A = this chain, B = another copy of it.
Amino acid sequence: MSHDVSFLDDLDVDGETSTSSGTLESHAADWGTPDGEGVAPDAVVYPESTGDVSRVLAAASDRGVPVTPYAAGTGLEGNAVPVDAGVSLDLSRMDAVRDVRPGDFQMDVEPGVMGSAVDDRAGEDGLWFPPLPSSGDISTIGGMIATDAGGMGTVKYGEVSDWLVRLEVVLADGTIVETGTRAVKSSAGYNLTELVVGSEGTLGVVTEATLELDGRPRQVRGGRAVFETLDDAAAAVTDAVQSGVDVAKLELVDETSARMANAYTGTDLPDAPTVFVEFHADHGVDEEVRYCREVFDAHDPLRFEIAEDGDGMDELWQARRDLAFAIRSYDPDLTPLHPGDVTVPISEYGTIVRYAKRLAAEHDVVVPCFGHAGDGNVHYSVLVDATDADAVERGERVYKQIVEKAIDLGGTSTGEHGVGRGKRQYLERERGPGAVDAMRRVKRALDPDGILNPGKILPED
Contacts and interface: CB of A to CB of B under 8 A. Distances in A.
A430 B177 CA distance: 11
A423 B191 CA distance: 16
B284 A288 contact: no
A416 B187 contact: yes
| Copies, count | 2
A187 B418 contact: yes
Interface string A377-413: 1000000000000000000000000000011001111
A445 B441 contact: yes
A150 B187 CA distance: 9
A434 B188 contact: no
A154 B103 CA distance: 18
A183 B283 contact: no
A244 B191 CA distance: 27
Interface residues of A, number: 91
A187 B417 contact: yes
A181 B435 CA distance: 12
A431 B182 CA distance: 11
Contacts of A147: 187
B195 A195 contact: yes
Contact of A419 (B182, B189, B427, B458): B189
A435 B288 CA distance: 45
Nearest to A434: B177
A95 interface: no
A24 interface: no
A177 B343 contact: no
A432 B192 CA distance: 13
Interface of A: 101-106, 147-150, 154, 158-159, 161-162, 171, 175-179, 181-192, 194-195, 197-199, 203, 214-215, 238, 242, 244, 246, 281-284, 287-288, 343-347, 375-377, 406-407, 410-419, 423, 426-427, 430-432, 434-439, 441-446, 457-458
28 contacts: A148-B185, A178-B434, A179-B435, A181-B407, A183-B345, A184-B343, A185-B375, A187-B419, A188-B412, A188-B414, A188-B419, A188-B426, A188-B427, A188-B431, A189-B435, A189-B436, A190-B439, A190-B443, A191-B191, A194-B195, A195-B442, A215-B244, A244-B282, A282-B284, A282-B288, A283-B288, A442-B446, A444-B445
Given A190-B203, A441-B445, 11 more contacts: A101-B347, A104-B347, A106-B345, A159-B185, A159-B187, A175-B437, A181-B407, A181-B431, A183-B376, A185-B343, A191-B191
